[in-house]
Amino acid sequence: MQEQHMARESKAKTATKGGSRPESGGKSTGKTPAPSQQAPGGYDILFKGDNIELLRGTIRHHIMSFQGRDPDRAGNEDSYRALSYTLRDALMYKWIKGQKSLYAQARKRVYYLSMEFLVGRSLTNAVINLGMQEPLHQALKTLGTDLEELQSCEEDAALGNGGLGRLAACFLDSIATMGIPAYGYGILYDYGIFHQSIVDGCQVETPDSWLRTGSPWLYERSHFMYPVQFGGRVHSYIDQEGRYRSRWVDTNIVMAMACDMLVPGFRNDHVINMRLWRAKASRELDLESFNAGDYVSAVESKVQSETISKVLYPSDDIAEGQLLRLRQQYFFVAATLQDVMRRYRKTNVHFEDFPNQVAIQLNDTHPAIAIPELMRLLLDVEGQSWELAWDVCVKTFAYTNHTLMPEALETWSVDMFGSLLPRHLEIIYEINRRFLLEVAERYPGNLRRIQEMSLIEEGPVRKIRMANLAIIGSHSINGVAELHTKLLTEHLFRNFYEMYPERFNAKTNGITPRRWLLCCNQELARLIGEKIGMDWATDLDKLRALEAFADDPEFRQRWREIKRLNKEKLAAIIKKRCNGLEVDPDSLFDIQVKRIHQYKRQLLNVLHVIRLYQHFVAHPESTRPARTVIFAGKAAPSYQRAKLIVRLINSVAGVINRDPRVAGRLRVAFIPNYGVSLAERIIPAADLSEQISTAGTEASGTGNMKFALNGALTIGTLDGANVEIRQEVGAENIFIFGMTAQEVESEKRIKSRKPIQIYEQNPTVRAIVDAIAQGAFSDGDRELFRPLVDDLMSENDPYLLLLDLESYLTCQDMVGEIYGDQDAWTKKSILNVARMGKFSSDRTIRQYAEEIWGIRVE
Ligand SMILES: *Cc1c(COP(=O)(O)O)cnc(C)c1O
């Protein structure tokens, strides 16, 4: 009982036989006619730049027609929406134009599947990418407002947890800027990552109902509505040709409705689409309750099905194994593949060509169910053979791994999986059977290897290993930094690497320089532009030209003034959000902002803060520079240790900020509710960027790149992309400390140094740990933070905090010394920015396109 809401697109029908290319939509490829001739509603004219009157008129028109308000009495909220609709019109106009030319060229398309897109706000980014700052500034002035005020009306689209989701958003920006025919696919959560507040030092979560008043950037496209099946059973039969076939029947249906957000490229005519699925109840009532005559209960249970897209799971780097999460994954994958198929079938009848027309990138294993789902579609719906279907799958899919930590690897209990997706379980068993035959053939008699590589983990609860599935079903498996990829092939996926070495590759993460420099640090961008032009915005290697100014005293002076200005702005935010806390913009802004996680070692940072505190108290004559240590980040609501760390940070902050002995020397701020918009204000104000994870735990990091691009110096371990940042900026321009990944690995085995020895031998370390243990930050309560002290002192601390502490403290002393020499510091800061070219997500995407997707980029 599937619904017939099947999608239909308003397009020139391009029926074809045997895969011949469509001529489509009138005019041919590439060339676009003169704008004035083809702009319905005059949109091209609108964005020419000298049409301030037209712009103003359009905004006023939208205030009336969309907001239903008198334009003369509109407030900022109305103006924000009207402006967004105005810009959205421009994006839609470009999008339609672009799609016509895309269909005409029949180019291969890329589908980027991600459970998370951490977009943040869209307004300023759209204005800057469309090149409309100047005319808009003028138009808004006549309306009595400005962009900054309107921007603050926008809620963040916070549909992600952290790095993984933000990476997906940066990738879409680069894809649009480089004109690659690609689509992002994900879920439109009604509630994004929770809102964090701090009450009595503790994290308190409240729901992020960002859609409460609707988002002007979203198009709800009710004509793209697909049925998604759940549950039911598998019906097997012999078809007319005597072949064994299966069909998935008696299922419950939930509808997936497309909600689109357009993503503009930077000052080009490209716009790409991020299609997010929202769950809608299907019209049919479940037979059982309906037959029982209980209509209201039947409707109620229908409405229940809409919970699928209600809320984002708030755990970063921890797999949760909940049924609703599995439903979310299958829901968005099933809808996406129907959309992919629809588009493919417009111009193709055979499936041999599928991998030449379609590339699907899996952002982590969250969408890995796409592999058995595509198998099901090809086998059960399209009637293809297993061999062809599997060949198509492997050539189509590519998988990005994001973590080395075992607790982040997804597994699903076979029972849960089988009751929700019985046909997919059968397919997974068959994939596994065939795969293990291959393994047995290659490694005869090696049972251990078969157990390790199997898609099924045996045990009291049998589980499906999604990473193994993603590897077997993909032609490319990539890590997100060089070190990460090396560790993947040597440890976590070693068996698979030995079997399929050609599948593994490294794609070092990147960030978009548009949002993370041009938009968020406009003064610095302007100064850079003055000296070397603006080409760096789409060719970040061009920043190299800044090296020539690193020794120019006047340039350094202006560089410092901009940093100082950004610090003043952040100080104002801290005052507002941290109970009036005043911080000194002349102090060293030492910043760690990211998800709160043990492996990221915010606790190590706190130990240094306590050390500084004790130092300043004991040595009022100290010449060390004053510091403001700033933290922000969310802890997963169920992650008790992380929440205790938040509490410790706030408790230490409380004690230090109240102590007159360190006034003017040390301040600690925990800024609540870290997210993209806050990051855009915090990062430009940083002097020092804390990237201090235990070596071998952070896959890449992207926060590290954002900071360095904004002129912060990094203090960090040789972990993730820090290794490559050091290579680029030069060892003399970065503060590296601690054990290497290799040293961590061997130290965990041989335990040559134990925390207790370090504690006993080093009085500085002892004083720090004792302060926490004796309740110096908990009103004398020795119990509150005991779990953290126990972690620190444990021989089995997986994150080796005490083993890295001495090296960290020494390194921090060096930071302080060099900060004292402002000229030396500024020079390093300039050189960091000048050498960040590699970390543009444009470079990353070019590599994905050329080396994984098989797409040439101009
Ligand atoms: C970049 C970013 C992250 C990732 O930061 P890491 O330091 O790499 O963990 C997380 N959250 C937000 C809001 C970001 O912008």
pLDDT tens, residue by residue, 318-345: 888 899 999 999 999 999 999 999 999 9
pLDDT digits (tens, 9 = 90+) for 538-555: 999 999 999 999 999 999
- In this predicted structure, the answer to whether residue 15 has a pLDDT above a threshold of 50 is no
Taking the model in full, what pTM does it have? 0.94
Residue 301, pLDDT score = 79
Cα 164 to ligand 1 centroid, rounded to whole Å:
8
Of 191-195, 246-250, 300-304, 482-486, the range with the lowest mean pLDDT is 300-304
Ligand 1 lined by 165 (C-beta under 6 Å): no
Residue among 259, 116, 126, 175 nearest 675 (CA): 116
Cα 116 to ligand 1 centroid, rounded to whole Å:
13
CA separation for the pair 401, 554 (Å, rounded): 45
Ligand 1 lined by 684 (C-beta under 6 Å): no
- In this predicted structure, the answer to whether residue 161 has a pLDDT above a threshold of 60 is yes
Residue of 119, 166, 196 with the most ligand 1 atoms within 8 Å of its CB, for mutation: 166
Residue among 552, 673, 781, 857 nearest 158 (CA): 673
Q: What percent of the chain has pLDDT over 90?
A: 85
- In this predicted structure, the answer to whether residue 42 has a pLDDT above a threshold of 70 is no
| Tokens at 382, concatenated | 């399209």
Ligand 1 lined by 160 (C-beta under 6 Å): no
Mean pLDDT over 12-23 rounds to 34
- Alpha-carbon dihedral sign for residues 396, 402, 404, 408: negative
The protein residue with its alpha carbon nearest to ligand 1, atom 5, reads 703
- The H-assigned helical ranges of 226-312 are 287-291, 295-304
Ligand 1 lined by 624 (C-beta under 6 Å): no
| Tokens at 263, concatenated | 């993503």
Q: What percent of the chain has pLDDT over 70?
A: 93
* Active-site position among 280, 514, 567, 595: 595
User: Which DSSP letter does residue 41 get?
Assistant: G
pLDDT range class, residue 29, cuts 50, 70, 90: very low
CA separation for the pair 614, 610 (Å, rounded): 6
Residue 296, pLDDT score = 82
- Alpha-carbon dihedral sign for residues 316, 369, 466, 350: negative
Ligand 1 lined by 503 (C-beta under 6 Å): no
Residue 465, pLDDT score = 98
Q: Is residue 159 within 8 Å of residue 118, measured between CB atoms?
A: yes
Residue of 480, 595, 630 with the most ligand 1 atoms within 8 Å of its CB, for mutation: 595
pLDDT range class, residue 518, cuts 50, 70, 90: very high
- 3 state SS of 740: coil
The letter for the amino acid at 78 is D
Residue 295, pLDDT score = 80
Ligand 1 lined by 162 (C-beta under 6 Å): yes
Strands 109-113 and 182-187 come out as parallel
Ligand 1 lined by 633 (C-beta under 6 Å): no
Q: Is 13 exposed, middle or buried (0-12, 13-18, 19+ CB in 10 A)?
A: exposed
Q: Is residue 370 within 8 Å of residue 336, measured between CB atoms?
A: yes
Length of the chain: 858
Task: Domains for the chain: give ranges and CATH numbers.
Answer: 106-120+156-403 (3.40.50.2000), 513-739+801-839 (3.40.50.2000)
Mean pLDDT over 830-858 rounds to 97
Residue among 274, 381, 391 nearest 336 (CA): 274
Residue 700 CA: which ligand 1 atom is closest?
8
Q: Is 858 exposed, middle or buried (0-12, 13-18, 19+ CB in 10 A)?
A: exposed
Residue 691 CA: which ligand 1 atom is closest?
7
Is 270 a catalytic site residue? no
Average confidence score pLDDT of the chain: 93
pLDDT digits (tens, 9 = 90+) for 647-663: 999 999 999 999 999 99
Give first-to-last CA distance, the chain, whole Å.
Answer: 47
Ligand 1 lined by 163 (C-beta under 6 Å): yes
- 3 state SS of 771: helix
* Active-site position among 702, 714, 717, 826: 702
The protein residue with its alpha carbon nearest to ligand 1, atom 10, reads 162
Cα 594 to ligand 1 centroid, rounded to whole Å:
5
Cα 223 to ligand 1 centroid, rounded to whole Å:
35
The protein residue with its alpha carbon nearest to ligand 1, atom 4, reads 163
pLDDT range class, residue 50, cuts 50, 70, 90: low
Mean pLDDT over 147-172 rounds to 97
Q: Is residue 311 within 8 Å of residue 189, measured between CB atoms?
A: yes
Residue 286, pLDDT score = 65
pLDDT digits (tens, 9 = 90+) for 108-128: 999 999 999 999 999 999 999
Mean pLDDT over 456-471 rounds to 97
Is 235 a catalytic site residue? no
Cα 635 to ligand 1 centroid, rounded to whole Å:
13
Residue among 314, 381, 283 nearest 341 (CA): 381
Other CB atoms closer than 10 Å to residue 294's CB: what's the count? 14
Q: Is residue 47 within 8 Å of residue 126, measured between CB atoms?
A: no
- In this predicted structure, the answer to whether residue 28 has a pLDDT above a threshold of 60 is no
Residue 33, pLDDT score = 35
Residue 16, pLDDT score = 34
Residue 317, pLDDT score = 83
Residue among 595, 622, 627 nearest 610 (CA): 627
pLDDT digits (tens, 9 = 90+) for 570-624: 999 999 999 999 999 999 999 999 999 999 999 999 999 999 999 999 999 999 9
Is 595 a catalytic site residue? yes
- In this predicted structure, the answer to whether residue 40 has a pLDDT above a threshold of 70 is no
Residue given tokens 């509109």 in the structure block: 74
pLDDT digits (tens, 9 = 90+) for 365-402: 999 999 999 999 999 999 999 999 999 999 999 999 99
* Active-site position among 463, 706, 828, 835: 706
Calculate helix-pair angle for 822-834, 553-577, nearest 10 degrees: 90
Cα 152 to ligand 1 centroid, rounded to whole Å:
21
What is the gyration radius of the CA atoms in the chain, in angstroms? Answer: 28
Residue among 269, 265, 279, 392 nearest 340 (CA): 392
- 3 state SS of 473: coil
Residue of 596, 702, 841, 844 with the most ligand 1 atoms within 8 Å of its CB, for mutation: 702
Is 706 a catalytic site residue? yes
Residue 118 CA: which ligand 1 atom is closest?
13
Ligand 1 lined by 676 (C-beta under 6 Å): yes
Residue given tokens 């590599």 in the structure block: 847
Residue 673, pLDDT score = 98
Residue 4, pLDDT score = 37
Residue 44, pLDDT score = 62
Ligand 1 lined by 679 (C-beta under 6 Å): yes
Residue 66, pLDDT score = 86
- The H-assigned helical ranges of 683-721 are 703-709
- Residue 534's alpha-carbon distances to 147, 173, 525, in angstroms, are 22, 18, 8
Residue 394, pLDDT score = 98
Residue of 117, 194, 594, 688 with the most ligand 1 atoms within 8 Å of its CB, for mutation: 594
pLDDT range class, residue 205, cuts 50, 70, 90: very high
